[in-house]
A and B are shown apart, each in its own frame.
Chain A
Amino acid sequence: MNILQYLINGISIGSVYAIIALGYTMVYGIAKMLNFAHGDVIMVGAYICYCVTVYLGLPVLAGVLLSMVVCTVLGITIEGLAYKPLRGTPSLAVLITAIGVSYFLQNAAQLIWSSNPKSFTSIVSNMKPLHLFGSLTITGEVIVTVAVSVVIMIGLTWFTSSTRIGKSMRAVSEDRDAAQLMGINVNRTISITFAIGSALAAVAGVLMCSSIPVLMPTTGSMPGIRAFTAAVFGGIGSIPGAMLGGILLGIIETFAKAYLSTQFSDAIVFGVLIIILLVKPAGLLGKQVQEKV
């Protein structure tokens, strides 16, 4: 394979990380918490799509839409039941709760779907790969993944910069008390954020399992951690940062696997992250936030 091929593959998996990282970064920006269960919502999304298409025999589009609906409801429920009662408590308590929710989702998935891996059928299985310059292959999965992530990025950028609700989300993220004085309901805004992040997680889960077709209860956990890394890498809280961080992380990971070592690819990715953060502590596009006095 040539370098261009690796680049394309890297951008493709990076686009999935970017979509997941958007969920991390939006929730962090608005609810000021790290939702470590976010990766597991991806896994639930993939299972729902699997069940709808395989067990119910419905078309792929129905699978994707239902999985988005279920994940949206799941995200709002998790937030309302597990995180909302802890609002205002030390962030460590919330973090531990998030880890607990993550295990809960994995164990629940194990109970429902067992720990045997399911083989996920790609949602674009009937699309022929493109061959360019003889050696370059662009699969349908790559095309769909990149296209969907571009649409999501443009859509979210438009939403947060041009709609009333989107702007109110930025206001809450910047100053929660001042936002309340504007009549903005912070609890509702946080719910909306979880809803959007979880719907995106469902999309990410379906796209990811279309490229890497093994589905198990732990499927979401490593991509979740990588996407979280991507969000930090790009500057946590920043939407363009999550996109950039995700794609760069996908590219670095693919190149590390190809040219250095498959086993150590994660270590290499995290090594690069640490170096970047030493140089730019707020991440690539993060704002240097001053501690409030």
Chain B
Amino acid sequence: MSMLKIEDIHVYYGAIHAIKGVSFEVNEGEIVALIGANGAGKSTILKTISGLMHPRQGTINFCGENITHTEACKLLPKGLAQVPEGRRIFLQMTVQENLEMGAFIKKTVNPDDLDMVFQYFPRLQERRKQVAGTLSGGEQQMLAMSRALMSHPKLMMLDEPSMGLAPILVDQIFDIIKELHKAGTTILLVEQNARKALQIADRAYVLETGKITLSGTGAELAKSDEVRKAYLGG
């Protein structure tokens, strides 16, 4: 069953037509990757799904409900979480407070949820009282993911979780994405690191200047000539 269904959306920044009729879907239990060059419109699509922007045309359905014009703050309670590009954690708040904000919609913080994220990222537990701005880049990414996990989303959208991380940390982040997926979370993954993304994705879409140009299973796309030339270095 399709959990997220995007139909022919057009998104603008003022006069700039950034997304030019994109359609795709994410089925329950899948990992779907969205790859494309800088400026292709990947982040714009995620921001549009999460309600920070709205399409001028087209529809977005989530779990059978039309959310095209739903306010951003109403989507997390429906089970749609986004780990935004550049982490966007609250730098002046502590690790613990960031996690509490992740559970804002739950009114009170469930200690079990904290235990759960600390199980994924033990490093954060030691740094609970630390101000988030003083964390390393990798730790900030862990915090961004943990914060999104605090509300147990059905669908988690990740925008370039591997950006700026050392290879060993990239592997660790991808392992955790796989674990989350196994635990039942559906994943929509935006990545520059096409090789890794296609490895773990059930299906993938290639985005070029606001349009989807290719789609298929992760394995199919990893083998396709166009993708290899453009995104996998030949």
Q: Is the CB of B93 within 8 A of A181?
A: no
B163 in the interface, Cβ–Cβ < 8 Å? no
Residues of B within 8 A of A170 (CB): 90, 92-93, 97
Q: Is the CB of A168 within 8 A of B72?
A: no
Q: Which of A177, A184, A186 is B104 in contact with, Cβ under 8 Å?
A: A184
Q: Is the CB of A184 within 8 A of B93?
A: no
The minimal Cβ–Cβ distance linking B93 to chain A, given in whole angstroms, is 6
- Do A183 and B104 contact each other (CB < 8 Å), given the known contacts A177-B52, A177-B72, A178-B84? yes
The minimal Cβ–Cβ distance linking A158 to chain B, given in whole angstroms, is 15
Number of interface residues, chain A, beta carbon within 8 A: 18
A167 in the interface, Cβ–Cβ < 8 Å? yes
- Do A181 and B84 contact each other (CB < 8 Å), given the known contacts A170-B92, A171-B93, A174-B91? yes
Interface centre among B71, B73, B75, B88 (most CB of A within 10 A): B73
Q: Mark A210-227, 1 if CB is under 8 A from B, else 0.
A: 000000000000000000
Dominant secondary structure of chain A at its interface with chain B: helix
Q: Is the CB of B52 within 8 A of A180?
A: yes
A136 in the interface, Cβ–Cβ < 8 Å? no
Q: Is the CB of A164 within 8 A of B104?
A: yes
Residues of B within 8 A of A167 (CB): 93, 97, 100-101
Question: How far, in whole Å, are A121 and B173 apart by their CA atoms in the complex?
Answer: 66
Question: How far, in whole Å, are A178 and B101 apart by their CA atoms in the complex?
Answer: 10
Q: Which residue of A is nearest B77, CB measured?
A: A183
Q: Is the CB of B73 within 8 A of A183?
A: yes
**CB proximity to B under 8 Å, residues A163-190:** 164, 167-168, 170-171, 174-175, 177-186
- Do A181 and B52 contact each other (CB < 8 Å), given the known contacts A164-B100, A171-B101? yes
Question: How far, in whole Å, are A184 and B101 apart by their CA atoms in the complex?
Answer: 8
- Do A181 and B50 contact each other (CB < 8 Å), given the known contacts A171-B90, A171-B93? yes
Q: Which residue of A is nearest B109, CB measured?
A: A164
Interface size class on chain B is 20 to 34
B204 in the interface, Cβ–Cβ < 8 Å? no
Question: How far, in whole Å, are A287 and B91 apart by their CA atoms in the complex?
Answer: 12
Q: Which residue of B is nearest A179, CB measured?
A: B101
Q: Which of B72, B76, B93, B151 is A174 in contact with, Cβ under 8 Å?
A: B93
The minimal Cβ–Cβ distance linking A173 to chain B, given in whole angstroms, is 9
**CB proximity to A under 8 Å, residues B109-128:** none
Question: How far, in whole Å, are A65 and B142 apart by their CA atoms in the complex?
Answer: 47
Residues of A within 8 A of B76 (CB): 181-183
Q: Which residue of B is nearest A170, CB measured?
A: B93
Q: Mark B22-52, 1 if CB is under 8 A from A, else 0.
A: 0000000000000000000000000000111
B89 in the interface, Cβ–Cβ < 8 Å? yes
Residues of A within 8 A of B92 (CB): 170, 174, 287
Q: Is the CB of A186 within 8 A of B90?
A: no
Q: Which of A164, A168, A178 is B88 in contact with, Cβ under 8 Å?
A: A178
- Do A183 and B105 contact each other (CB < 8 Å), given the known contacts A167-B97, A174-B91, A178-B84? yes
**CB proximity to A under 8 Å, residues B133-149:** 147-148
- Do A178 and B90 contact each other (CB < 8 Å), given the known contacts A164-B104, A183-B105? yes
B218 in the interface, Cβ–Cβ < 8 Å? no
Residues of B within 8 A of A171 (CB): 90, 93, 101, 104
Given contacts A171-B90, A183-B74, 16 further A-B contacts (CB under 8 A): A164-B104, A170-B90, A174-B90, A174-B92, A174-B93, A177-B88, A178-B84, A178-B90, A179-B101, A181-B52, A181-B88, A181-B148, A182-B102, A183-B73, A184-B73, A287-B92
The 18 sampled A-B contact pairs (Cβ below 8 Å) are A164-B100, A164-B104, A170-B90, A170-B93, A170-B97, A171-B90, A171-B93, A171-B104, A174-B93, A177-B84, A178-B90, A180-B71, A181-B52, A181-B76, A181-B84, A182-B76, A183-B75, A183-B105
What 4 A-B pairs have minimum CB-CB distances, sorted nearest first? A183-B76, A180-B72, A183-B105, A178-B88
Q: Using CB atoms and an 8 Å cutoff, list the residues of chain A in contact with chain B.
A: 164, 167-168, 170-171, 174-175, 177-186, 287
